[in-house]
A and B are shown apart, each in its own frame.
Chain A
Amino acid sequence: MTGTLAAIGAGLAAIGAGLGIGKIGGSAMESIARQPEAASKIQTAMLIAAAFIEAVALFAVVVSLIAK
């Protein structure tokens, strides 16, 4: 039972991270299209922001692993 709940929790975390990273990726694309010369700077900032969001999702994964 806890295994199922942990799986649901991991899935919810994946939805959240997907929305967040999708939003970052989308706006990074838009800004690169507006200002192609700033592409490398935008990419770096995008990766850092994505890493922060990903970390939150991974916390959820670790919690799900422990709760297994």
Chain B
Amino acid sequence: MSKVVKVIVVFTLLTAFLSIKNNTFAQVDSVNSLPVDTAVAATHEAGAVVNHAEAHEEKEKGFDITSFIFHHISDSHFFTLFGHGEHGVTLHLPIILWTNNGLVTFSSSDFKFNDDGTQVVEKNGQRFAIAHNKIYYANATANEHGAFVSHEVKDGAEIVTNARPIDFSVTKNVFSMLLSVVLLVIVFTTVASSYKKRNGKAPKGLQSFLEPIIIFVRDDIARPNLGHKYAAFMPYLLSVFFFIWLNNILGLVPFFPGGANVTGNIALTIVLAGCTFLIITFKGNKYYWGHILNPPVPWWLKPLMIPVEIFGIFTKPIALAIRLFANITAGHILVMSLLCLIFIFNSLWIAPASIFFAVFIGLIEFLVAFIQAFIFTILSALFIGMAVEEHH
């Protein structure tokens, strides 16, 4: 208890110290700014210099780290190989839309790297505009900013109010995901066929690389949590484990085939957690459902326990989805922010430290890529195990 009190006291003192320090800085700033103001008043030339410096400063502050990072972790219709915009090399991904007039397909190069709704693409008698990576039906005329979409400010955030077609496009994330699926299918069919061919012999090549990992999933994840019924769930657990692991690692690769934030996309993690949820729900036996709908507690606790248990059915997969999403997204944001430090301080001297920390966190993320795949799989196995466990 005294330790906790100590921690609180130290923390409060630290906060107080920091706030005092901030105040003194603020005072120094105001003292400094005073002569500058008088200088501006005194000579026009000096004033111009100060104004220029201020404008310069504003331009540097124009580097918006938040939007930069969110642009990098969000999905996109373009896959930039290197460079930026029209000066770089970009893979233009197909746009597939289900509109009011049926299916419409065209290349994302038609949008000419536009992302603020000022470029209109006309296909099948319909007009489309792209804003913040979302495709909308374009307005007939442009607004004062030249955009063909209407904005509405809601709770301080600008929202586009135009109607949207249903978007089945192969985006950056979809492309990366399909790539990993193709890779996994090729690798595992090869390994499976070599197990058939070399039945009873020692593993060879790719087989000897994957065998320890598959055995790890079987002996450390499936067996301890699922008991003797583990074999039925091995295909699911192995698929999920290798899919998440490969996509985590591909997300850490900073150049072309990787770099998409697939497992840091909440939609994908919700689908994966949804698969676990479906298995739990449909494979759950009568003891599992009995525990939820008629828990073995005194009768007066039942009105409290039954709703809690029913909530528990849903919180488990939601926690699974958010854990994977937030871990991977946080990792990407961390690496990007460390690299952004160079541009925030606008100094070359910060670069070595920034890059050192970015590489260091990158290596930790390599470990996290494995740990998160492991955690997702072991928790899936644990929850399924709880649902299929026989009463004893």
Contacts and interface: CB of A to CB of B under 8 A. Distances in A.
**Bound together:** yes
Interface of A: 40, 44, 47-48, 51, 54-55, 58-59, 61-62, 68
Contact of B326 (A40, A47, A61): A61
B337 to A, nearest CB: 12
A55 B330 CA distance: 12
Contacts, number: 34
A44 B322 contact: no
B382 A68 contact: no
Contacts of B33: none
Given A55-B319, A68-B66, A44 B326 contact: no
Contact of B330 (A40, A48, A58, A68): A58
Which 4 A-B pairs give the minimum distances between C-beta atoms?
A58-B326, A51-B375, A55-B323, A55-B319
Contacts of A40: 220
Contacts of B325: 62
Given A47-B374, A68-B66, A58 B382 contact: no
B375 A48 contact: yes
Interface in B359-386: 371, 374-375, 378-379, 382
B51 to A, nearest CB: 29
A62 B375 CA distance: 19
A1 to B, nearest CB: 11
A5 to B, nearest CB: 14
A55 B322 contact: yes
B193 to A, nearest CB: 32
B379 A62 contact: no
Contact of A54 (B66, B323, B374, B382): B323
Contact of B220 (A44, A58, A62, A68): A44
B292 to A, nearest CB: 20
A48 B379 contact: yes
Nearest to B66: A68
Contacts of B326: 55, 58-59, 61-62
24 contacts: A40-B220, A44-B220, A44-B224, A44-B378, A47-B371, A47-B375, A47-B378, A48-B375, A48-B382, A51-B323, A51-B375, A54-B323, A55-B319, A58-B322, A58-B326, A58-B327, A58-B330, A59-B322, A59-B326, A61-B326, A61-B330, A62-B322, A62-B325, A68-B66
Contacts of A59: 322, 326
Interface of B: 66, 220, 224, 319, 322-323, 325-327, 330, 371, 374-375, 378-379, 382
B375 A58 contact: no
A4 to B, nearest CB: 12
A65 to B, nearest CB: 8
B380 to A, nearest CB: 12
A58 B327 CA distance: 7
A59 B326 CA distance: 8
Nearest to B4: A19
Contacts of A51: 323, 375, 379
Given A44-B378, A48-B378, A51-B379, A58 B371 contact: no
A44 B322 CA distance: 21
Contacts of A58: 322-323, 326-327, 330
Given A47-B378, A51-B379, A61-B330, 4 more contacts: A47-B371, A54-B323, A55-B322, A58-B322
Contacts of A44: 220, 224, 378
Contacts of B327: 54, 58
B95 to A, nearest CB: 28
B368 to A, nearest CB: 10
Interface centre among B326, B371, B378 (most CB of A within 10 A): B326
A44 B220 CA distance: 8
Contacts of B322: 55, 58-59, 62
B385 to A, nearest CB: 13
A53 to B, nearest CB: 11
